[in-house]
């Protein structure tokens, strides 16, 4: 019997496709195109060890003779071919981009996750409990909002770097980056969730939950949270683009991912040195990848905001 | 109104105290200050003496208070890396950043407001649409990529403008200026555009949205019905009423121009305080980081305060019925 029932009920994917959001998605070519680009880049990053023609960080496989091979041409000494050319040390640019994207995307996703968990928790607490909790949380948020997020991230990075012992700094850099970007970005989430919680907590279902004696934490997590998630989703998407750009900026400035574990920003920093001598591809391809990634996530976020906003339907 | 202003000043002081606490904690807890100040050859007696001198055995609150006292006098100790007083280094570097921020601020304001008005009035025109699409890409482009792109175009390919540094500077007292020499002015162009472009697109989009909103209002329709000239309607009737939100955002943007100068200064190797700050982070030069943080927060808080006061000057309604309350 169970089998038959499963056959009748449409699958989860099918239901999502036929929902309002799915309809809106199918009718927004920009959203479909950006999803395609984002998915392509994510798959490239995840499968980098299998796709990348060379392993850029294995010194044994590098041949210095291959240095500065232009894209789409065979090297004049060794005859090796590289799709997007090579850098000064003979590393394949296409492979470094794939591996760099791994780090950029990982830092971006992890930082947004940290900011989201922190912001949503603090926002729920502030909105639901009120009183002193709310005053303290929102005051700190206000102070932090006075400063641009990138500055806060730089400062946290600097402090964390000072605390870690020098021999671990390169290894820890990625985690420090996640911490710095995540902590610089929680305010948006907290403010929105607090606002939504203030509205939801006076609704009847919350009153009912209170009456049957559920604990405040159960009410916050099981009842209010699912109802304030829509705006959180929108902010998370836009934050992801901002986090990826923030990571690239920090790495570009030399206060992010180290050259031994380069992200897209580090690659652009390295490539900039060769701009003056005519090896444009070392700079151009990582920059174009970063731009494609940031732009398509931004466009996706824009679409999501409009699609989830009931007033615009 | 007075109550509101006093409340805002009180809040600003609170922000500065909190930032001061962060700066102080950096000094106190990131690395050992005694370790950083004494060289390799030191005795236990040296350590004890310096500890006593710095007051590190005192209670936390007393230390914090002493730090604030010193900071208020502009005394942040010696840079770990350069061995010179931090205040001296900052004063030396500040003119470069302020000149750059000033030029980009003007560029962003003038460019942003005029393009905003233009795109609002010619809403359906081709050029307005081109500008709007361009601004969307401009918002997505990270600042440092804009800088690199400009360097590539105007310094590498065309060779018109220098790609780094301030050019020749003239010294006037303790201030160094690049405004008076040709190479100084030429060096300023690319960094100023890089820094101002993002703010310009933001201001432009804001002015456009506000203008479109105001142009839909009844008093504008009446003004049209009365046969007032289009130019007069746009600039004398509509623009005035878009100014309040524009001033808020612009004021806050001026603050972030100083922060984003860090990125621009690194791309163009511009010898300002932003580049100093990035180098300080790379070498964990805590006194410079702390001093920069304090300096920039005084600027931010000051700008915010001035913006809030400007409301009263611009919006007469606030002078009448604003009771003490947040915004």
Higher-pLDDT residue of A171, B201: B201
| pLDDT on residue A60 | 66
Alpha helices in chain B (DSSP H): 2-29, 33-37, 44-54, 60-72, 86-121, 126-140, 143-150, 182-215, 218-225, 230-232, 239-267, 273-282, 286-314, 316-321
Tens-place pLDDT, residues A105-119: 999 999 999 999 999
- Residue B31 is predicted with a pLDDT of 64
Which residues in chain B come in under a pLDDT of 70?
Answer: 1, 31-42, 53-57, 318-327
CATH of B86-283, one of 3.40.605.10, 1.10.150.120, 3.40.50.920, 1.10.3720.10: 1.10.3720.10
Q: Which of residues 160-199 of A touch B (CB under 8 A)?
A: 161-163
Residue closest to B110 by CA, chosen among B188, B182, B193: B193
> For residue A129, which phi and psi values (nearest 5 degrees)?
-80, -35
Residue A4 predicted with pLDDT over 60: no
N residues, chain A: 313
* Predicted pLDDT of residue A310: 60
Superfamily for A37-58+67-312?
Answer: MetI-like (1.10.3720.10)
Distance from CA of B74 to the nearest CA of A (A): 20
CB contact under 8 A, A162 and B163: no
pLDDT 10s digits, A132-166:
888 889 888 888 887 888 888 888 888 888 787 77
Task: Enumerate the domain spans of chain A.
Answer: 37-58+67-312
Point out the residue among A140, A151, A275 whose CB comes nearest to the CB of B259.
A151
Residues of B within 8 A of A143 (CB-CB) are: 15, 18-19
User: Which tens digits make up the pLDDT trace of B140-199?
Assistant: 788 888 888 888 888 877 878 777 777 777 777 777 777 777 777 778 888 988 888 888
Q: Give me the mean pLDDT over the A209-218 stretch.
A: 87
**Cα separation, B164 vs B148, whole angstroms:** 11
B156/chain A closest Cα distance in angstroms: 6
User: What mean pLDDT do residues A211-226 have?
Assistant: 87
Across the interface, whether the CB atoms of A255 and B281 are under 8 A apart is answered yes
Better-predicted residue by pLDDT, B152 or A120:
A120
Is A145 within 8 Å of chain B by CB? no
Task: Render pLDDT for A33-90 as a digit per residue (tens, 0 to 9).
Answer: 888 888 988 888 888 788 777 777 766 666 666 666 777 776 666 666 666 777 777 6
Residue owning tokens 């101002």:
B196
- Residues of B whose CB is below 8 A from A300: none
What is the rounded distance in angstroms from the CA atom of residue B22 to the CA atom of residue B291? 11
Per CB-CB distance under 8 Å, the chain B contacts of A280 are 152
Cα radius of gyration rounded to whole Å, chain B: 24
**How many Å lie between the alpha carbon of B31 and the closest alpha carbon of chain A?**
6
With contacts defined as CB-CB under 8 Å, which chain A residues touch B15? Answer: 143, 146
Q: Which residue has the higher pLDDT, B26 or A288?
A: A288
pLDDT tens digits for A232-248?
A: 888 888 888 889 988 99
Cα separation values, A228 from A48, A198, B234, Å: 36, 10, 41
Alpha-carbon gap, residue B303 to B109, rounded angstroms: 16
pLDDT of residue B41: 65
Find where tokens 């040709």 sit.
B182
Single pTM value for the model: 0.81
Average pLDDT over residues A196-209: 88
> Is residue A293 pLDDT above 60, yes or no?
yes
pLDDT for A27 equals 78
More confident residue, A104 or B143: A104
**B122/B138 Cα distance (integer angstroms):** 21
**Residue B138 contacts residue B201 (beta carbons within 8 Å):** yes
B104 to each of A118, B62, B179, how far by Cα in Å? 36, 42, 14
- Domain boundaries of chain B, sorted by first residue: 86-283
């Amino acid at each position: 019997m169970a089998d038959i029932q499963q056959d009748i009920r449409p699958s989860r994917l099918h239901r999502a496709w036929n929902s309002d959001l799915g309809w809106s998605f199918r009718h927004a070519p920009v959203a479909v195109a950006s999803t395609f680009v984002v998915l392509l880049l994510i798959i490239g990053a995840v499968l980098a060890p299998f796709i990348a023609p060379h392993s850029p960080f294995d010194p044994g496989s590098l041949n210095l003779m291959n240095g500065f091979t232009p894209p789409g041409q065979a090297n004049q000494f060794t005859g090796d071919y590289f799709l997007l050319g090579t850098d000064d040390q003979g590393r394949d640019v296409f492979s470094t981009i794939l591996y760099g994207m791994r780090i950029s995307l990982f830092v971006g996703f992890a930082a947004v996750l940290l900011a989201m968990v922190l912001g949503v928790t603090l926002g729920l607490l502030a909105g639901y409990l009120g009183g002193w909790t709310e005053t303290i949380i929102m005051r700190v948020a206000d102070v932090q909002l006075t400063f641009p997020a990138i500055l806060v991230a730089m400062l946290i990075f600097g402090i964390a770097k000072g605390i870690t012992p020098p021999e671990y700094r390169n290894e820890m850099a990625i985690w420090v980056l996640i911490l710095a970007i995540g902590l610089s970005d929680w305010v948006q989430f907290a403010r929105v969730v607090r606002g939504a919680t203030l509205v939801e907590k006076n609704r009847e279902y919350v009153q009912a939950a209170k009456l049957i004696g559920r604990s405040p934490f159960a009410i916050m997590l099981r009842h209010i949270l699912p109802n304030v998630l829509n705006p959180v989703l929108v902010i998370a998407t836009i934050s992801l683009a901002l986090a990826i750009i923030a990571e690239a900026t920090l790495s570009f400035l030399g206060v992010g991912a180290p050259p031994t574990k380069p992200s897209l920003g580090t690659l652009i920093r390295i490539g900039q040195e060769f701009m003056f001598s005519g090896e444009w591809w070392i700079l151009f391809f990582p920059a174009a990848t970063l731009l494609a990634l940031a732009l398509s996530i931004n466009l996706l976020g824009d679409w999501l905001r409009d699609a989830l906003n009931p007033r615009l339907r | 109104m007075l109550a509101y202003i006093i409340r805002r000043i009180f809040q600003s002081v609170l922000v500065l105290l909190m930032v001061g606490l962060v700066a102080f904690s950096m000094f106190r807890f990131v690395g050992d200050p005694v370790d950083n100040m004494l060289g390799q050859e030191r005795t236990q007696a040296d350590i004890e003496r310096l500890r006593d001198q710095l007051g590190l055995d005192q209670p936390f609150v007393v230390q914090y208070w002493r730090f604030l006292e010193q900071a208020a006098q502009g005394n942040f100790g010696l840079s770990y890396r350069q061995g010179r007083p931090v205040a001296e280094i900052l004063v030396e570097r500040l003119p470069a950043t302020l000149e750059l921020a000033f030029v980009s601020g003007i560029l962003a304001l003038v460019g942003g407001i005029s393009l905003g008005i233009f795109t609002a009035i010619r809403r359906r025109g081709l050029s307005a649409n081109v500008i709007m699409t361009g601004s969307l890409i401009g918002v997505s482009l990270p600042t440092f990529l804009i800088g690199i792109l400009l360097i590539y175009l105007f310094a590498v390919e065309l060779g018109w403008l220098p790609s780094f540094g301030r050019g020749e500077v003239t010294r006037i007292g303790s201030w160094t200026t690049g405004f008076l020499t040709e190479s100084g002015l030429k060096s300023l162009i690319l960094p100023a555009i890089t820094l101002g472009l993002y703010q310009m697109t933001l201001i432009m989009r804001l002015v456009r949205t506000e203008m479109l909103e105001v142009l839909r209002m009844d008093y504008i329709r009446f003004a049209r019905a009365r046969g007032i000239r289009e130019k007069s309607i746009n600039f004398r009737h509509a623009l005035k009423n878009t100014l309040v939100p524009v001033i808020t955002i612009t004021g806050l943007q001026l603050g972030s121009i100083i922060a984003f100068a860090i990125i621009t200064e690194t791309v163009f190797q511009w010898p300002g305080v932003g580049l100093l700050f990035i180098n300080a982070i790379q070498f964990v030069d805590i006194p410079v980081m702390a001093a920069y943080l304090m300096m920039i927060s005084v600027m931010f808080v000051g700008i915010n305060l001035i913006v809030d006061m400007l409301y009263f000057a611009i919006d007469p309604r606030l002078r009448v019925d604003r009771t003490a309350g947040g915004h």
